[in-house]
Structure 1
């Protein structure tokens, strides 16, 4: 049967786990809780860094940006997902779908770039401690942030514009909770070779290059730490890097898990759940990693909570 093209698309349908009606209340409660924890946890870090001047350092500047990005990424997907589950209306307009694709790509790319910038900050702090303030001044930190944002926005807009040239069939059901770019591309009836090539290039640039930068930074860090004569200094240096390494492992680990699950299983439900976890769990867990492993952050948060309680 010939594929039928649609010249004007009225709406897409986000199926998610639509067939499991008995799980809908549980899924709604789970992702609502995760979203609230993500929002509040990252907001606490943003407020702590904003109001405590001792935390106005490059490390906390990038942590502030990472927390803000985590809120934006979660807000791009989860609220719409919750509304669809609650109302049992799984439709989304083409404009809304395109906007969601663009924003998810922007914030996902920005997250990997920020983690690479944080790795560079750790490298400078441990390998060049006496020049740290000169190398990573406020101008350099802002420049790294703006450059990361520029690369991420360029990637998101490029993919979105490439999607506009595609023709879609009458089958517009997306087996996901949100408009995931790879799933939407599969619905196209026109040739997607160029789009797929751009996807692989973008993954190499926004996934591979930051990962290479992180690995390179930690090779130099480990080499420098092993040359330290004092065991206490070695422990302190590794402890400083522990939070960042945990966040990097979580992000790339869940991403690798999604890739493996899609390659080895035929169950679309398992792939959907793995993809949702990848887009929600790292942003939720990141604040707890930094709060639990960072004494300065814990002290600042207690001061902030005490100040808020006093005002109430």
Structure 2
């Protein structure tokens, strides 16, 4: 078998916890391998070991059949390994182009040669359909666009092995579809992808094989085409899981929680920014109310304001008719 990456018997310990317990993971060239597990199963830790952010206590990493010692991200990059972290590592007030070349700038007599870099970035974005405006400032573009910048950073560094850590957590459904297509295009061009996730439908949509971790241990690897979501979820949590929800229509009672005109403001660099903007809703007894939105759209601030963890700038919160604002 032609493995481009082999992580053999990797053990990574932190004080009081074995995050990765004797894990073996093998990535074939030109495939999308999903790494599935619940939160805290050790997926991100294992990928951080591969990317050189952590050193394992035991085990061996082979890249293209050769044993390697990866002491940091620069080593990983030199071996052609790139990583898109769940929380992007971009400089907010730099342009897209500046972020892509950061750390491997081409200079001539001490001056930055941005023209060649710009051409290479434009060619790559054309080839992989990763359309971005190279002159846009990072803080002005959407999260989905920022993720494309991270992918272009890997391509610009000629990374052949790409690690995506929970890449869909911050995306809209349309952006998720676009990302899935981008991943398929990347492997068509000969890249190999490790895709960390706990979303079974996404694995079914793009992955060739799926390796499962549970509580720091390796459970097994399956061919995605021959496996049901139920079987994968059972490997992930260690018991039978029913993925269909049986739910009678709710018969809501009286209003128990009422939120009126709630706003949360943040002061940043002398400017006031509204993180939550005049939100009102009611929750009745016996019902489930969902607050939906992509990561970073104010859900956390809303909940913190309702529960009094942080201050609201305007608005009221009543529980069972009693004012519990602040």
- Normalising by the smaller structure, the TM-score range is under 0.3
Query: Which structure shows the bigger proportion of residues in helix conformation?
Result: 1
Structure 2 length-normalised TM: 0.26
Structure 1 length-normalised TM: 0.27
Relative contact order (alpha carbons < 8 A, sep ≥ 6): 1 or 2 greater? 1
Larger radius of gyration: 2
